A and B are shown apart, each in its own frame.
Chain A
Amino acid sequence: MSRKDFIRRMRKSKLFIIGLAGILAIALLCFLSPLFAQFNPTKSELSNRLLEPEWFSKGLGGHVFGCDSMGRDVLTRLLIGGRTSLLIAFSVVIITTLIGLVIGLLAGYYGGVMDLMLMRVCDIMMALPTLLLAICVVAVMGASVTNLVVVLSITGWIMVARVVRSTVMTIRNSEYIKAAIVLGIPNYKIIFKEVLPNVVSPVIITATQAFGGMILTEASMSFLGLGVPAPAPSWGAMISDGREYIATAPWVVIVPGIALMLVVLAFNFLGDGLNDIMNPKNKD
């Protein structure tokens, strides 16, 4: 597909546009929040404890989404926490994609013993429960953003590796790979120049779809206290903190919950949209 085709298809895909717009909006809000945030996300003001949302009655200067049980502004925590969540998800997706790409390329291209060994490693990793692994790591090394990224990466690359491997195995049998071998092109060059460009689109699609899942996993880890250490905000931790007051002060839970849902939805839209755009079988 040429670049022109690609752009035309991108414009035509509603899912893609909606997903991309949503993600850009959320990411911009989160990362630019230090410029306009009115409150300190970690400083508690007990006079404001469980303050009801003031919406926009005081403009942006008020507590738009209210305050939590420690009297911290929910909107500020949401934006600052979103920054952490997105950053963690982004690093994990990048790391897992790179590891998965390398493993998948090697297993799919060389096949045989290499494939057998790498895929057994995958099976072993699959058998590890992410949550238990996380508890172990946190118990040993303590809760921190880095440790969270490590835990999520350890189990996250397997999906990518499997997708890449199966795509590479199909490509490996095409005649243009035979042609490259007959021309005397060394294996590493064949992998980089002939195979890699053809696995980029499935990898991008998988990575995008994994992004939403990663944000959710990060939230559940933080919810369980295995993620971002308090008092730094994170969406999962916010939901966890607020669950005791869900009957009296539902906004403390609902606001980060909705934000979480919107981000994941946006990433799923983007992933599906990319799938439509990049799949050559979808004629327009």
Chain B
Amino acid sequence: MENNKKNALLRTENLKEYFKISGKGYLHAVDNISLEIMPNETLGLVGESGCGKSTVGNTLMRLLKPTNGKIFYKGEDITNPSKKKKLELTKKMQMVFQDPYSSLNPRKTIRSILSEPFLINKAASGIELEEKVNALAKRVGLEEYVLGQFPHELDGGKRQMVGIARALAMNPEFIVCDEPVSALDVSVQATIINLLIDMQKEMKLSYLFISHDLSVVRHISDRVAVMYLGQIVEIAKTDTIFSNTLHPYSVALLSAVPKIQFGQEEERIVLTGDVPSPMNPKPGCRFAPRCWMACEECKNKDQHLAEVEDGHYVACMRWREVREKTAGQAWKKGIEVEHE
């Protein structure tokens, strides 16, 4: 753990992002999140809609000012960077957006969109700029004729390639991918995922991969963090989290992934009730009102992430019972079989 902290590329410490809603109080979008992203690592961040995944991404990119807590980049506090530092950081940290239909300015050609990062950093001009943009497009697999077109003339996959190219322009080290494939056709999703993986190998990138699609996250991530109502409830290596799930919420989430496995008994855990409001949450485990394992104690006692195995953190006091109960479940077996 200590070692991780030192070597981490990006680290957050008790990051909080509250939104003030007048007359109602504070919406706890992100509550006390501490995580590390190592160099050349992909951290998957999963959770249902509204749990604060995207807010984490936006806060890391300084699109939002954190209410509390700290963000470190290579050990340096970047929570409140100076103007100069900010511009420096934009070269190192970039973002790929969810909706390729709204992430490109409809009035600009692709060439002009891809020129922006070079121009703002005064990295190139004239013919050199043209060549650099051409090379950038080629790197992500965009044909040169696309550069003269407008965003609405391209399909979703090509648009997302433009979005990725724009993020890669200044050779960053870290990229927040905010649901980069959820707005795309399944057939195109694979192309984009593979592009992200290729780029990671080529440029030694680190990703924070935000998604609600577990199969995609499992494919691309080295580690996975599961979020519920603004908090991380479980974080572990991808294989571990899928084969040795210990938080009741993660169990429910994973058992909901559709699988094609005939003849296997499968027990799906269906959560009842609605997600409680993130407005002024009560003390106690946030998942307790919907949890299939909850006891009286859970409802009163805050749960904190604790290391239960090497590199496997769970925020549940009853994780042992969860392990016993879910042992031998079909969806766990399915994963073990695959890894034989």
Whether the pair A176, B117 counts as a contact (CB closer than 8 A) is no
CB-CB under 8 A from B103, the residues of chain A are 174-176, 178-179
B220 within 8 A of A: no
| One of B5-13, B67-75, B91-99, B295-303 at the interface | B91-99
Whether the pair A182, B107 counts as a contact (CB closer than 8 A) is no
Chain B, residues 90-115, CB within 8 Å of chain A (1/0): the string is: 11011101110011111110000000
Q: Which of B90, B98, B106 contacts A183 (CB 8 A)?
A: B90
A115 within 8 A of B: no
Whether the pair A178, B120 counts as a contact (CB closer than 8 A) is no
Q: Which of B91, B94, B102 contacts A175 (CB 8 A)?
A: B102
Whether the pair A185, B116 counts as a contact (CB closer than 8 A) is yes
CB-CB under 8 A from B156, the residues of chain A are none
Whether the pair B99, A175 counts as a contact (CB closer than 8 A) is yes
Whether the pair A179, B95 counts as a contact (CB closer than 8 A) is yes
Chain B, residues 103-142, CB within 8 Å of chain A (1/0): the string is: 1111110000000110011000000000000000000000
* A-B interface pairs (CB < 8 A), number: 54
Whether the pair B102, A185 counts as a contact (CB closer than 8 A) is no
Whether the pair B107, A197 counts as a contact (CB closer than 8 A) is yes
Known: A179-B103, A198-B107. A184 touches B87 (CB 8 A): yes
B288 CB to closest chain A CB (Å) equals: 34
B247 within 8 A of A: no
CB closest chain-B residue, reference A181: B63
Whether the pair A184, B95 counts as a contact (CB closer than 8 A) is no
CB-CB under 8 A from A175, the residues of chain B are 97-99, 102-103
Q: Which of B95, B99, B104 contacts A182 (CB 8 A)?
A: B95
Is the contact region of chain A dominated by helix, strand, or loop, or is it mixed?
helix
A2 within 8 A of B: yes
Q: How far is the CA of A174 from the CA of B61 in the complex (A)?
A: 16
Q: How far is the CA of A174 from the CA of B105 in the complex (A)?
A: 9
* Interface size classification for chain B: 20 to 34
CB-CB under 8 A from B106, the residues of chain A are 198, 280
A66 CB to closest chain B CB (Å) equals: 52
Q: Which of A2, A176, A185, A197 contacts B104 (CB 8 A)?
A: A176
B150 within 8 A of A: yes
CB-CB under 8 A from A198, the residues of chain B are 105-107
B201 within 8 A of A: no
CB-CB under 8 A from B219, the residues of chain A are none
Chain A, residues 173-200, CB within 8 Å of chain B (1/0): the string is: 0111011111111000100001001100
B163 within 8 A of A: yes
CB-CB under 8 A from A174, the residues of chain B are 102-103
Known: A175-B97, A176-B102, A178-B97. A183 touches B63 (CB 8 A): no
Whether the pair B120, A183 counts as a contact (CB closer than 8 A) is yes
B332 within 8 A of A: no
Q: How far is the CA of A197 from the CA of B58 in the complex (A)?
A: 26
Chain A, residues 154-174, CB within 8 Å of chain B (1/0): the string is: 000000000000000000001
Chain B, residues 156-167, CB within 8 Å of chain A (1/0): the string is: 000000010010
Chain A, residues 187-227, CB within 8 Å of chain B (1/0): the string is: 00100001001100000000000000000000000000000
CB-CB under 8 A from A189, the residues of chain B are 120
B320 within 8 A of A: no
Q: Which of A184, A197, A280 contacts B120 (CB 8 A)?
A: A184
B86 within 8 A of A: yes
Q: How far is the CA of A197 from the CA of B102 in the complex (A)?
A: 15
Q: How far is the CA of A185 from the CA of B87 in the complex (A)?
A: 9
Q: Which of A178, A184, A197 contacts B90 (CB 8 A)?
A: A184
A185 CB to closest chain B CB (Å) equals: 5
- Interface positions, chain B 216-274, Cβ under 8 Å from A, are none
Whether the pair B166, A183 counts as a contact (CB closer than 8 A) is yes
Known: A174-B102, A197-B107. A179 touches B163 (CB 8 A): yes
Known: A175-B98, A197-B107. A180 touches B116 (CB 8 A): yes
Max chain A CB contacts within 10 Å: which of B90, B99, B104, B105? B105
Whether the pair A182, B150 counts as a contact (CB closer than 8 A) is no
Whether the pair A185, B98 counts as a contact (CB closer than 8 A) is no
Q: How far is the CA of A174 from the CA of B63 in the complex (A)?
A: 13
Whether the pair A184, B121 counts as a contact (CB closer than 8 A) is yes
9 closest A-B pairs by CB: A184-B90, A175-B103, A197-B107, A175-B97, A176-B105, A175-B102, A174-B102, A184-B87, A182-B95
Q: List 27 A-B contacts (CB under 8 A).
A: A175-B99, A175-B102, A176-B102, A176-B104, A176-B105, A178-B58, A178-B63, A179-B95, A179-B103, A180-B116, A182-B61, A182-B63, A182-B90, A182-B93, A182-B94, A182-B95, A183-B90, A183-B94, A183-B116, A184-B86, A184-B91, A185-B120, A194-B105, A197-B105, A197-B107, A198-B107, A280-B106
Other than the given A176-B103, A176-B105, A183-B94, 5 more pairs (CB < 8 A) read A179-B95, A182-B94, A198-B105, A198-B106, A198-B107
The interface of chain B, by Cβ under 8 A from chain A, is 58, 61, 63, 86-87, 90-91, 93-95, 97-99, 102-108, 116-117, 120-121, 150, 163, 166
